[in-house]
């Protein structure tokens, strides 16, 4: 018999709630520092980003409380409906959306704007959890794997049509969920290999790279059991790799937009554009480096105060932390995210419901991607693709979406003891 329904406050995972509250508070503190203006003293000034962020924070906490009042079964029963509603919002924004920074991905509501693609990650996670929790689904079967990929591919295509490649790339993180649910590791390895080969093709002369691949193929042929099947497999992989190498330059020059090409070239060291595409990262590194061990102090960051870093309250919020709170503050932020991510993994593994467990891994994957890529962007280790730092970056869409994402999982987890 399932246990009697207990008070939500008794089963809620309070460590995660406390980490969440700490993150949004310190996120607001750093947004305040990033846009601080001595002429505006009130923290409730709605003409300033920090004033607007307080509204987003207050409304996010209200949304979190409302989610905790829902029956946990609601999210699994209506998973596909929520997914289709998020897809509908992605279609609507294509026709009625507002273009900001080159991406037509925003819907204006009065003085505020919402980005439906942020909520599409949540909707896709629900649909994916619903589909993969079916007892008849086995990702080792190619047909089932393709169906799961289609669930992800539809929002990716709609988001890419909005010219928002950065957000579309986030959906790659669901590969970790596939792997956890039984997808062959060789497929994941193959995907990472393709990414590596893409960058190597841009760095190394094509003929030289093909020669290296041929040498690797010969070595492998001498190391393996040379059955007809193994030989055919290695030759097929080599031929595919050669075709891929020759297609990369075409894709790079004809599919990526000029500013995206420049960002990749700057990252790879093929171009130095400190006044153009490389300006943000260059100024970000100066800000982080100048913070030293303990930082310059709250509101004392010169790079921050004089607006040397564009988008410092959003995508580059980490460099504000690095400058004003130093290495210690930066490590504390990384530690907080590590604790949150580890806690989510532990919570996912203790679920009695397959739906809840898979949803937990979806949450982990998306959060990890955002965290890792955002930090890497500010350190110049990844191209600048407009990925916000969850719970820290300014913006209502991101904060609302991740709040919903997280608290739905907390609600599912709170109900786990009532599941047989």
The residue ranges of every structural domain in the chain are 8-176+291-418, 189-255
CA dihedral (410, 412, 413, 417) positive or negative: positive
Q: Which residues contact 207 (CB under 8 A, 6 or more apart)?
A: none
Whether the predicted pLDDT of 236 surpasses 70: yes
Does residue 157 register a pLDDT over 90?
yes
Q: C-alpha angle with apex 307: 116 to 19, nearest 5 degrees?
A: 50
- pLDDT digits 0-9 by tens, 303-325: 777 777 777 788 889 999 999 99
- Position 277 scores a pLDDT of 60
Cβ atoms of 279 and 286 within 8 Å: the answer is no
The string of pLDDT tens digits covering residues 159-213 is: 989 988 889 989 999 999 998 888 887 777 888 888 888 878 877 888 888 898 8
Count Cβ atoms below 10 Å from residue 273 Cβ, excluding itself: 14
Residue 391 in this model has a pLDDT that exceeds 90: yes
Q: Determine the distance from the C-alpha atom of residue 162 to the mean position of all C-alpha atoms in its chain, rounded to a whole number.
A: 17
Beta bridge partners of 114: 107
- Residue whose token pair is 């209502």: 396
User: What is the distance between the alpha carbons of residues 21 and 41, in angstroms, rounded to a whole number?
Assistant: 24
> Average model confidence (pLDDT) for the chain?
86
Tell whether the model's pLDDT for residue 275 goes beyond 70: no
Phi, psi dihedrals of residue 236, rounded to the nearest 5°: -65, -40
Looking at residue 35, its pLDDT comes to 83
């Amino acid at each position: 018999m399932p246990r009697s329904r207990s008070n939500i406050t008794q089963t809620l995972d309070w460590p995660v709630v406390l980490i969440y509250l700490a993150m949004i508070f310190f996120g607001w503190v750093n947004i305040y520092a990033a846009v601080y203006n001595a002429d505006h003293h009130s923290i409730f000034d709605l003409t300033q980003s920090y004033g607007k962020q307080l509204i987003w924070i207050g409304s996010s906490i209200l949304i979190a409380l409302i989610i905790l009042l829902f029956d946990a079964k609601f999210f699994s029963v209506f998973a596909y409906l929520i997914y289709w509603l998020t897809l509908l919002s992605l279609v609507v924004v294509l026709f009625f959306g507002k273009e900001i920074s080159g991406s037509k991905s925003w819907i204006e509501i009065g003085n505020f704007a919402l980005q439906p693609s942020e909520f599409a990650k949540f909707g896709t996670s629900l649909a994916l959890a619903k589909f993969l929790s079916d007892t008849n689904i086995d990702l080792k079967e190619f047909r089932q794997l393709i169906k799961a990929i289609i669930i992800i591919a539809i929002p990716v295509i709609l988001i890419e049509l909005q010219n928002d490649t950065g957000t579309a790339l986030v959906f790659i993180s669901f590969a970790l969920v596939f792997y956890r649910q039984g997808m062959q590791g060789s497929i994941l390895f193959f995907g990472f290999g393709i990414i590596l080969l893409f960058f190597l093709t841009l760095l190394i002369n094509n003929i030289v790279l093909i020669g290296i691949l041929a040498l690797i193929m010969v070595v492998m042929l001498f190391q393996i059991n040379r059955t007809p099947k193994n030989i055919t497999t290695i030759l097929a992989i080599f031929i595919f790799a050669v075709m891929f190498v020759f297609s990369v330059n075409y894709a790079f020059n004809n599919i990526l937009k000029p500013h995206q090409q420049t960002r990749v070239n700057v990252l790879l060291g093929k171009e130095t554009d400190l006044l153009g595409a490389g300006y943000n990262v260059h100024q970000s590194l100066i800000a982080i480096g100048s913070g030293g061990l303990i930082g310059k102090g709250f509101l004392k960051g010169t790079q921050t105060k004089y607006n040397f870093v564009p988008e410092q309250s959003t995508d580059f919020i980490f460099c504000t932390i690095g400058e004003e709170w130093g290495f210690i503050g930066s490590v504390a932020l990384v530690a907080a995210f590590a604790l949150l991510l580890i806690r989510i993994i532990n919570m996912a593994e203790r679920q009695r419901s397959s739906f809840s467990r898979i949803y937990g891994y979806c949450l982990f994957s998306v959060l990890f991607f955002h965290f890792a890529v955002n930090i890497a962007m500010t350190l110049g280790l990844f191209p600048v693709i407009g990925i916000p730092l969850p719970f820290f970056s300014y913006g209502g869409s991101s904060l609302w979406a991740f709040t919903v994402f997280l608290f739905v999982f907390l609600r599912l987890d709170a109900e786990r003891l009532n599941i047989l």
